[in-house]
Amino acid sequence: MWRPLPVASRLATALAVVGTWWCRGRGRLAGVEPGAPTLERPWRRTWAHVPKRSAGADFTRADYAAARARAREVARATLGDALWAQLQRQGYLDVPSTLQPGVIYRLRVGRRIEVRCAPGVRSPWPAPYLCINPTYPLPEEEFFAHLYLYVRDREDIVRRIAAPQPWDQALGRTF
């Protein structure tokens, strides 16, 4: 015969279920098992309708705070401790061009890339700032780490897609 559980027992059962779900979601993958958090694959969606500097209408303040905290953690892991410390100390990272000696890309979190040239070196662009955004919303520190990888390892892509701009500005697809 079914009987309602005492309150404490029901609470313990509920906590155990939530705990199991949480551990499973964290340690394995999101999206594999029923009930686990879904892994968001942002390349599967279109984001053109999402306003600039936003992650979408379904995002709460708590979501933004959690996303930024996780982004900081992974950006640091991506760059490594030495570069991360340098970024925190000086507020930017300079990446020398491997395609054109004398050209330096100055990267700052959430901003356009500043192109700096040594005396006598001509910039490949008509304006000093390059606007490059992720194709889906990302926390700005996370995208900073991605942009650093692009500039350092795939400068050819950066040169192909960068939009030169005459002034500095916050990026539109990061938050």
Q: Among residue numbers 140 through 169, which ones bind other proteins (CB under 8 A)?
A: 142-143, 145-147, 149-150, 153-154, 157-158, 161-163
Burial degree of 19 (CB within 10 A; 0-12, 13-18, 19+): exposed
Contacting other proteins (CB under 8 A), which of 10, 11, 13, 80? Answer: 80
Burial degree of 86 (CB within 10 A; 0-12, 13-18, 19+): middle
Query: CA–CA separation, 168 vs 22, rounded Å?
Result: 42
Phi and psi of 113, rounded to 5°?
Answer: -80, 135
Query: For residues 5 and 39, which CB has a smaller minimum distance to other proteins in the complex?
Result: 39
Q: How far is the CB of 9 from other proteins (least distance, A)?
A: 32
Q: Where on the chain is the footprint of other proteins (CB under 8 A)?
A: 26-30, 32, 37, 39-44, 55-56, 59, 63, 66-71, 73-74, 77-81, 83, 130-139, 142-143, 145-147, 149-150, 153-154, 157-158, 161-163, 175
